[in-house]
Structure 1
Amino acid sequence: MTAAARPEQAANSAGLELSDAEFASLSQMIHRETGIVMAPSKRALLQSRLYKRLRSHGLDSFGAYCALLESGDGQFERREMISAITTNVTRFLREPHQFRELREEVLPPLLEHAQNGGRLRIWSAGCSTGEEPYSLAFTLLDLLPEATRHDIRILATDLDPNVIRKAEAGRYPTESLAPFSPEARQDHFRPTGDGFSEVRDKARRLVTFRVLNLLDDWPFRGDFDVIFCRNVVIYFDDATQRRLWTRFAGVQTRPGARLFIGHSERLSDEARPYYRLNRGASYVRTDRDVPQQDTQPARAGADRSA
């Protein structure tokens, strides 16, 4: 988890502290907009991350900032606030055992189906700055170099427009490519000579990035062969988590479709009829249908952690 260099000290030195009422108001707004739960223990974190937003508007109190958020012009600033409080912790090929299962067990039959005229759809939900969906694209290309010639697509979504812009740029510090072999780096990245490398066009063509709040209405109805939603749902309240797991099942109607989640996340009891655990690395979709009412959006959801 990354954070600015002790901004909470700057906030305190300036005499700006969140009152109980301001923390309650901001916490309620964040939950309403995103589904993220701001526990009392997160108070100092919230204060430190929003201090820069106050400075950017020339405000001298958190009360004035709350008033801005609630004003008619507050919609844009609410998006900036969510961007400020969410954490973008990601890296290429995170959880290697999951990518090993994907490469060795899940993708080969799906790619054979695509080569015979079928379609393959993968969703990276909560994609952050793009390392996960590009890792998926690289895995596809390693197995099928001509993947772009077939009906194979990766949808990558995140709540935060700022991280989506970074993901679309596909530009990363060269040191972050350490998980890849020298051959893979050559195949999938182009060094830019300034300590950065860019994702090559072949992988880019497989990925479509979109801004999406997970608990809003989804502008698609599936059907996804593979969903990666890792270290996302853990930051929501229990009701939001239960709804999300069953909604994922609603866009994975094919028995055998795979759901990959974070190592500290667990499916809710309500979702267990729709998935079975596969050796700890993924969940396999069963043939149980999801009732229509359980696939509807519930207002209060988001994409990543606080």
Structure 2
Amino acid sequence: MTLPPESLSSLRDVLARYCGVVLDDVRLMALRSAVERRVEALGRAPAQYVAELALSADRAELQQLAELLLNHETVFFRNRPHIEALRKTLLPTLHATLPPGAPIKIWSAGCATGEEPYSIAITALEALGDPLPRPVEILATDLSAAALDKARRGVYRGRTLANVTPAQRARFFTVTGDGWAVHERVRRLVMFVQHNLLDPFPPAARGTHILFCQNVTIYFSIDTCRALMARFYDILSEGGTLCLGFSETLWNIFDRLRPVAVDGAFLYRKDPPRQRIAAVTAHKWPGQSPRSLRLRQIVPPADETPLFTDEAVVNDGRRLIESGQLEAALELFARAPLAGRHAPAVLALAAQAHANRGDLDLALAEARRALELNPLVTEAHLLLGLIYERQQQLPLAIRHLEQARYLSTESPLVAFHLAECYRQTGRMIDAIREYRNAERLLAGLPPDHLLEGVAAHWLAESCRRWIARLEGER
């Protein structure tokens, strides 16, 4: 029995309320597949399963469904700038300032299969000494029980170890029959706990000094992200640090955590109480008595210069992506303070780089977040249009490509792909018009100019062939 789209949309909303993750329209197909696997396991009719789950919100069954949908792929030392800041500044500063014997508390929220908390533990041993001069307590949580089982086993192989140096392998891993096992002195620093970030936090999280939550909130709605940040703020220690994935900006989302640059990494800080008295000034406002008092917000001192994305980051990142230097572009973005009016454009470019690497889930999430922050980012609409076209979600592709054309009327790529989508949906007159637009715009480029790796003259020739064929069929 085929499930109607409205049933899947209803179930998607139930899942979002359960774990925060919002599945886009493309991933409804993955949700359909997950439902089919669950109903086969349970021996129930699909429509009955969806209806009952939507009504009861059975947490145990929602957990089973989420296990089939969430991506747990990660690598050791994934975010190099954050690891450098942890090693050079964050850990040494905490060791120097905390009372003797007091533990350094770190939380890896959304730890997946364990690479992140083990990377943190290795960094602590490298930065502070082995054995450690004070306790380091690393809480590692994730929604997925299957991912945590793998994390507890601590055996890894393949590309997940790509960032581990030979010296680190020799010092912190042992060879096993089927991979590399994390050494016991690293493992005993980490406590794994299954946890849903929308539930009350584990008691061990209170007073966290450093909180890692990377590539998690980008899949949440802005409202869910905002609520989670408020709860993170409450459990962080005074002066505590939040490390998000580089595309998870809090700009225009949550402003109680102050953005800071540490050793080239862009982090968020919970400032300790300031020993400053708010300036209370007599101020006359329309409709108020001249004696009304108004509390004026303290302006940060001069050494706390607000951090904003520089336009040069946008331009340099675009050039790197166009020349195929995807890793260099992502490294550039990872060290940029993702705030200010250029932040949505950087998010869209990061999404393009991730899409070119094949990380489509992350690319879709980043492009959507860019549009949530600024619905007029042409690159985000174009990228979503291209991804949806590739996945044969043509109505969605057309919607975003038409928006991209409205914002940028001189893009031959937008015109060409819009023509392709119109043709595949039977809108032949519209397709001919857009093929002509693309041909006209391509004529202004050098013949060997590359667009998506294809020379301009080849795209123009494709436009001419389709125009001739479609006009001949009319």
The interval holding the TM-score normalised by the smaller chain is 0.7 to 0.9
Work out which of the residue numbers 262, 276, 281 in structure 1 matches 2:266: 281
CA contact (8 A) 1:114 1:152 kept: no
Task: State the Cα deviation string for residues 243-295 of structure 1 (Å, max 9, x = none).
Answer: 1112111111322x211101111115463233223255212222359xxxxxx
SS of match in other structure, 1:18: coil
Work out which of the residue numbers 157, 174, 185 in structure 1 matches 2:141: 157
Does residue 1:200 correspond to 2:183, yes or no?
Answer: yes
Distance in 2 between residues matched to 1:132 and 1:254, nearest whole Å? 24
Does residue 1:56 correspond to 2:41, yes or no?
Answer: yes
SS of match in other structure, 2:71: coil
CA contact (8 A) 1:50 1:85 kept: no
Does residue 1:144 correspond to 2:124, yes or no?
Answer: no
* Partner residue in 2 for 1:44: 29
Q: Tell me the CA shift for residue 75 of structure 1.
A: 4.2
Deviates more, 1:99-108 or 1:130-139: 99-108
Work out which of the residue numbers 205, 216, 238 in structure 2 matches 1:232: 216
* Partner residue in 2 for 1:300: none
One-letter identity of the residue aligned with 1:201: E
Q: Which runs of 5+ in 2 are unaligned?
A: 275-360, 366-474
CA contact (8 A) 2:14 2:57 kept: no
* Over 4 Å off, 4+ runs: 70-75
Distance in 2 between residues matched to 1:22 and 1:93, nearest whole Å? 40
Counterparts of 1:101-116 in structure 2, within 5 Å, are 101-113=85-97, 116=100
Pair 1:120–1:147, CA change in 2 (3 A)? farther
Distance in 2 between residues matched to 1:131 and 1:228, nearest whole Å? 12
* Partner residue in 2 for 1:123: 107
SS of match in other structure, 2:26: helix
SS of match in other structure, 2:112: coil
Distance in 2 between residues matched to 1:270 and 1:175, nearest whole Å? 34
SS of match in other structure, 1:40: coil
Does residue 1:191 correspond to 2:152, yes or no?
Answer: no
Pair 1:74–1:274, CA change in 2 (3 A)? closer
Distance in 2 between residues matched to 1:264 and 1:270, nearest whole Å? 13
Q: Which has the larger radius of gyration?
A: 2
More helix by share: 2
CA contact (8 A) 2:74 2:160 kept: no
Pair 1:139–1:280, CA change in 2 (3 A)? closer
Task: State the Cα deviation string for residues 40-84 of structure 1 (Å, max 9, x = none).
Answer: 23222222343332333344x521432564688954322110111
User: What RMSD, in angstroms, separates the aligned Cα atoms of the two structures?
Assistant: 2.7
Deviates more, 1:135-144 or 1:106-115: 106-115
Deviates more, 1:103-112 or 1:146-155: 146-155
Deviates more, 1:111-120 or 1:210-219: 111-120
CA contact (8 A) 2:85 2:265 kept: no
CA contact (8 A) 1:155 1:207 kept: yes
Does residue 1:212 correspond to 2:195, yes or no?
Answer: yes
Pair 1:74–1:239, CA change in 2 (3 A)? closer
SS of match in other structure, 1:122: strand
Distance in 2 between residues matched to 1:79 and 1:246, nearest whole Å? 25
Pair 1:157–1:43, CA change in 2 (3 A)? same
* Partner residue in 2 for 1:180: 164
Does residue 1:84 correspond to 2:68, yes or no?
Answer: yes
SS of match in other structure, 1:94: coil
Normalising to structure 1: TM-score of the pair? 0.80
Normalising to structure 2: TM-score of the pair? 0.53
Task: State the Cα deviation string for residues 115-143 of structure 1 (Å, max 9, x = none).
Answer: 93222000000000100000000101112
Aligned residue pairs total: 274
Q: Which protein has greater RCO, CA pairs closer than 8 Å, 6+ apart?
A: 1
Does residue 1:99 correspond to 2:83, yes or no?
Answer: yes
